[in-house]
Structure 1
Amino acid sequence: MKCTGVVRKLDELGRITLPIELRRNLGVGDKDPLEIFVDEDTILLKKYNPADIFTGEMDDLIEYKGKKISRASILRLAEIAGLNISE
């Protein structure tokens, strides 16, 4: 992990502001979703990239009821269900 030397205080609602230089370098824009991870005493923010809920793949995704599923997973599930689907 690389130290940026940036220190920020939480406001009364527990919010912090990410410096514009950091957002630009990481390609984070206004209203972009961020994932929050915790590892012992470390909080890690990562730009959220949707992925297939079964495999973690990030290509060729379809959204169904708020979940992302790749076409490959859909075809595999159809195969498991005994459905014969041609592409």
Structure 2
Amino acid sequence: MQTGIARKMDGLGRIVIPAEMRRAMDIEPGDEVVIGFEDGAVILRSAGAACVFCGSASQVGGFRGRGVCSDCRDQLGA
């Protein structure tokens, strides 16, 4: 991670994502995001950017209205 901003978590486990990060990620109020855990880090990404089957963010394209990576599309025979 190249940059970081310290934030405190509230009593309900919520953390505010700074406006400049939301703008950089093109996240708007009401957008769905995916929160994951990888190599000891919490990962946040736009829900539309991940494969619905394996969670990969690499080479994701549309398949019947869902985001599916090229590997999973190949397995589906699409």
Same fold (TM over 0.5): yes
Partner deviation per Cα, 1:10-56 (whole Å, 9 max, x = no partner): 101000001111101110111111111212321111111164648x7
Q: How does 1:64-79 map to 2 (within 5 A)?
A: 68=66, 76=77
Between the two proteins, what is the percent identity of the paired residues? Answer: 24
Q: List runs of 5+ in structure 2 lacking aligned partners.
A: none
Give the AA of the match of 2:64.
Answer: I
Select the structure of larger CA radius of gyration: 1
Runs ≥4 residues deviating over 4 A:
none
Q: TM-score, normalised by structure 2?
A: 0.64
2:36 corresponds in structure 1 to 37
Change (3 A) 1:11 1:33: same
Is residue 37–residue 45 contact of structure 1 (8 Å, CA) maintained in 2?
Answer: yes
2:7 corresponds in structure 1 to 8
Is residue 52–residue 58 contact of structure 1 (8 Å, CA) maintained in 2?
Answer: no
Is residue 35–residue 48 contact of structure 1 (8 Å, CA) maintained in 2?
Answer: yes
Q: CA deviation at 1:76?
A: 3.8
**Separation in 2, partners of 1:52, 1:12:** 31
2:25 corresponds in structure 1 to 26
Question: What count of residue pairs does the alignment treat as equivalent?
Answer: 68
**Separation in 2, partners of 1:53, 1:26:** 22
Give the structure, 1 or 2, with the largest relative contact order (CA under 8 Å, sep 6 or more).
2
